[in-house]
């Protein structure tokens, strides 16, 4: 794991870093997450060349009704795919459940997929967002813009992901 990436994932003690910091009010949470995600993903495109921010937008729309889930959906790729760190999210005032979900949703370099899915499944907020993420990534419309070999590979990947998440999911 590279130093820069490791620093973005480095755990920080919530009690030490959040003292005196103003948490984002619930009614501003989704808007602030959207603004951060759009800024962080500015200029990025997906595999089909579409603006990347459209993906977290669709994932957030799939989890409406829960501001923390929507915020985590907007932010689910920012630590993995941009220079934003968990500490940056904490400093911006995002609540710990959102930060924990983003942490769980962030793949580590060289991490076996099943370990990643076990971590996601252990966090109910992360699991809800991951299911919406997979649904968006595996949608007929989205896959249809890719070449056939990539479509087949991704369908297999997402089917495995769903099966593995189900196997690791904690009983409710």
State pTM to two decimals.
Answer: 0.85
Is residue 104 included in any domain, yes or no? Answer: yes
What is the per-residue pLDDT for 112? 94
Is residue 14 included in any domain, yes or no? Answer: no
Is residue 149 included in any domain, yes or no? Answer: yes
Is residue 15 included in any domain, yes or no? Answer: no
Residue of 113, 160, 169 whose CA lies nearest to 138: 160
Report the number of distinct structural domains present in the chain.
Answer: 1
Is residue 150 included in any domain, yes or no? Answer: yes
Is residue 17 included in any domain, yes or no? Answer: no
What is the per-residue pLDDT for 20? 56
Q: What are the φ/ψ torsions at residue 83 (nearest 5 degrees)?
A: -85, 5
Could you read off the pLDDT tens digit of each residue along the chain, which spans 172 residues? 443 444 445 444 343 344 556 889 888 999 999 999 999 999 999 988 899 999 999 999 999 999 999 999 999 999 999 999 999 999 999 999 999 999 999 999 999 999 999 999 999 999 999 999 999 999 999 899 899 999 999 999 999 999 999 998 767 6
Domain range holding 104?
Answer: 23-168
Q: Tell me, what CATH number does 71's domain have? A: 1.10.3210.10
Measured CA to CA in angstroms, residue 119 lies from 17, 124, 166, 171 at distances of: 24, 10, 12, 15
Is residue 3 included in any domain, yes or no? Answer: no
């Amino acid at each position: 794991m590279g130093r820069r990436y490791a620093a973005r994932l480095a755990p920080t003690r919530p009690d030490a870093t959040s003292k005196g910091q103003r948490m984002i009010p619930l009614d501003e949470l989704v808007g602030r997450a959207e603004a951060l995600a759009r800024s962080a993903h500015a200029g990025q495109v997906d595999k089909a060349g579409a603006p990347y921010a459209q993906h977290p937008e669709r994932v957030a729309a799939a989890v409406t009704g829960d501001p923390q889930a929507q915020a985590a959906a907007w932010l689910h790729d920012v630590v993995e795919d941009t220079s934003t760190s968990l500490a940056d999210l904490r400093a911006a005032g995002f609540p710990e459940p959102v930060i924990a979900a983003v942490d769980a949703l962030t793949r580590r370099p060289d991490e076996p997929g099943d370990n990643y899915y076990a971590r996601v499944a252990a966090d109910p907020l992360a699991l809800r967002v991951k299911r919406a993420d997979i649904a968006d990534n595996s949608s007929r419309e989205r896959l249809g813009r890719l070449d056939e070999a990539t479509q087949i590979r991704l369908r297999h990947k997402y089917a495995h992901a769903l099966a593995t998440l189900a196997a690791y999911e904690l009983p409710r």
